[in-house]
Amino acid sequence: MVISKRVESTLLTDQVYSMIHEAILNGDLPAGSRLRIRDLAAQVGTSVMPVREAIRRLEEAGLAEREPHKGAVVKGLTLEELIHVYDVRRLLEVEAARLGSRKVTSEDVDKMQDEYTRMRTAIAEGRVIALLDHDEEMLATLYNASGNPVLVQLIRALWQQCRAYKIVGAKGSLNDGGDDTLWRYQQDLIAAARNHDAVAAASVNDASLLDATGRIKALLAAQNEG
């Protein structure tokens, strides 16, 4: 019976963790949001214990942090930290694209194309979360072809870290009707993957992440001037 109760408690904590985790990634709980244990427990219909454990896991995953006089909050990144994140993403994702494009199958490329088509539909309909989900799945398909699951795991963790800011950036690009950065690089990456062109795939990812870093630096400069 003791074992059964422990399993039940773990499963409940997993469910609570998944619910809060999803709310963070889809923007319902943006950076800086307070994670009040009793409020969350009331919302999900559980006691405070699984919520407290779920928040601890979120802290371990780098998605939540403790702030004085506030308790746990959804972790945010300063623009300086974002630049560091994107520098690391550039190191990892350029290599992942290079390796993946060499081994990617035609079925994988077809899946990438399908995710790209779904992403373009989401862009046309202004669905920010959907476009980010399809974009990440398209990239993950290529990266998985590298055969290095540790590399893909690290990249996915970085995506989670900067998800709140990817949402802001995607919204800004959607509001600018002439901005093609949401789909231009992905289109070129699929072409490189289909041709098994490792040099081109690495170059596209490098250019894409450099472009994103440049926009972040511009935001940082504007913030400092203000």
* Whole-number Å distance between alpha carbons of 93 and 147: 14
* Whole-number Å distance between alpha carbons of 205 and 163: 18
* Whole-number Å distance between alpha carbons of 99 and 146: 5
Q: What is the pLDDT of residues 6-16, one digit of tens each?
A: 444 678 888 89
**Residue 75: what pLDDT?**
85
**Residue 9: what pLDDT?**
61
Q: What is the mean pLDDT of the chain?
A: 88
Q: Is 72 helix (H, G, I), strand (E, B) or coil?
A: strand
**Residue 223: what pLDDT?**
60
φ, ψ of residue 71 in degrees (nearest 5): 85, -145
Q: What is the pLDDT of residues 53-93, one digit of tens each?
A: 999 999 888 788 998 888 999 987 777 888 899 999 999 99
To the nearest 10°, the Cα dihedral for 99, 103, 105, 111?
-20
CA distances from 219 to 3, 5, 9 (A): 52, 50, 44
Domains annotated for the chain, with CATH where assigned, are 2-74 (1.10.10.10), 79-225 (1.20.120.530)
pLDDT of residue 139 exceeding 90, the answer is yes
Average pLDDT on 170-174 reads: 80
